[in-house]
Amino acid sequence: MKEKPTLETIAKQIFQLYEDYYQHEIFNIKAELELMVYSEILKVDPSVIALDTDILDQELTALNIELFGLAWLDYNYKLFEEGKQDSNKCDVALCTEIMFAKSYLEKTKRSDTWSATRFYNHTILEAAIAQNDSVNWSTFRDMPAYYERAIRSSPPEKFIRLSAQSYLEHFDKLIKDKINEKECALRLSNRLASIQPWRDGIMIPQKLSSAFAERLSFIPNSEATLLFQRLVVGLYNNARNYINAVIDYGSWELARKAAIDLRQSLLETGRELLEKQNRSDEPEVR
């Protein structure tokens, strides 16, 4: 009888997925992504010219990493909801992601980026609390009032206490550094309240985009504000699509090859149909 894989084995198997995403979708393209974001903002808000691009680079990377964590959380939670993954494997998948983020950033001498992700991590929790506790979001001008009222009535520590302890049990089996265990467990707990609010509303993208602008010390106009919100949703969707592709094909390279093969196949099919159409349009020779 085949033995069930240990927590350590499961962790090693999914570590490769994280590393692939960081290499291919964060650090290998961050210069291009930074330039694209900067140029798009410049089109709608010329005041961005005064922006410190070093800060933009760090904050964009931190935001991207935290959104990957959100996407990974929702992906695994959906598997659990559908009965395709038990709670133990789901918990391990979530624990290893936050552990990987911390260890990878520290190993590559990017501890400042790990620190920056804390700001977005806490923003996610606050936005989720605000959306969960709010009754009516129909009037835009009421949002700040609802948000502040929700935070005062439901302090973040309440959510942290409810979930952090159960995750510490998994962290204890995976890593031995108690300080790292607690920090990672708290950050993971901060995300847990976001699952349904992210699916149902706009508060989390809205607050994350505001937090991004705040970290840049940039006050965007209305068009740039909407662009920031599209950026948040776009990075999240990219992470979800990436996770689905890698899970389906086994690696980033195979997923990319499959996408290229599909495109080539579609082009060839299109050419064949066009040739048939052209032949049918030719006049008959009598």
- CA 64 – CA 208 distance, rounded (Å): 11
Give 162-215 as a DSSP string: HHHHHHHHHHHHH---HHHHHHHHHHHHHHHTTHHHHHH-SHHHHHHHHHHHHH
Is pLDDT of 74 > 80? yes
- Whether 235 maps to a domain, the answer reads yes
Tell whether 236 is covered by a domain. Answer: yes
More confidently predicted of 284 and 178: 284
In a domain, 262, yes or no: no
Q: Above pLDDT 70, what percent of the chain?
A: 65
Spatial separation of the C-alpha atoms in residues 20 and 252, rounded to whole Å = 7
- Nearest alpha carbon to residue 92 among 171, 188, 184: 171
Is the separation of the CB atoms in 69 and 191 below 8 Å?
yes
Looking at residue 250, its pLDDT comes to 67
Interatomic CA distance for residues 93 and 73, integer angstroms:
8
Task: Tell me the HSE value of 52 on the side-chain side, using a 13 A CA sphere.
Answer: 9
Q: Would residue 284 count as lying in a domain?
A: no
Residue 279 lies in a domain: no
Mean predicted confidence (pLDDT) in 158-171: 45
Closest CA to 255 of 243, 246, 263: 246
Evaluate whether 128 touches 204 at the Cβ level (below 8 Å): yes
Q: What is the mean pLDDT of the chain?
A: 76
**Helix segments in the chain, DSSP class H:** 7-21, 30-44, 53-81, 87-107, 111-133, 143-153, 156-174, 178-192, 195-200, 203-215, 222-249, 252-281
Q: How many domains does the chain have?
A: 1
pLDDT the model gives residue 56: 92
pLDDT of residue 90: 79
Average pLDDT over residues 173-195: 68
Model pTM above 0.85:
no
Whole-number pLDDT of residue 236: 94
Q: And the tokens for 218? A: 């940039």
Q: Is 155 helix (H, G, I), strand (E, B) or coil?
A: coil
3-state class of 95 per DSSP? Answer: helix
pLDDT tens for each residue of 17-73: 888 899 888 998 888 888 899 999 999 999 989 889 899 999 999 999 999 999 999
Signed CA dihedral, 81, 82, 85, 90: sign only: negative
Q: What percent of the chain has pLDDT over 90?
A: 30
Give yes or no for a contact between 181 and 171, defined as CB atoms under 8 angstroms apart.
Answer: yes
| Domain span including residue 168 | 7-251
Rounded CA separation 47/224 (Å): 10
Provide the residue type at 40 as one letter. Answer: E
User: Is 163 inside a domain boundary?
Assistant: yes
Q: Tell me, yes or no, whether 268 lies in a domain.
A: no
The answer to whether residue 180 sits within a structural domain is: yes
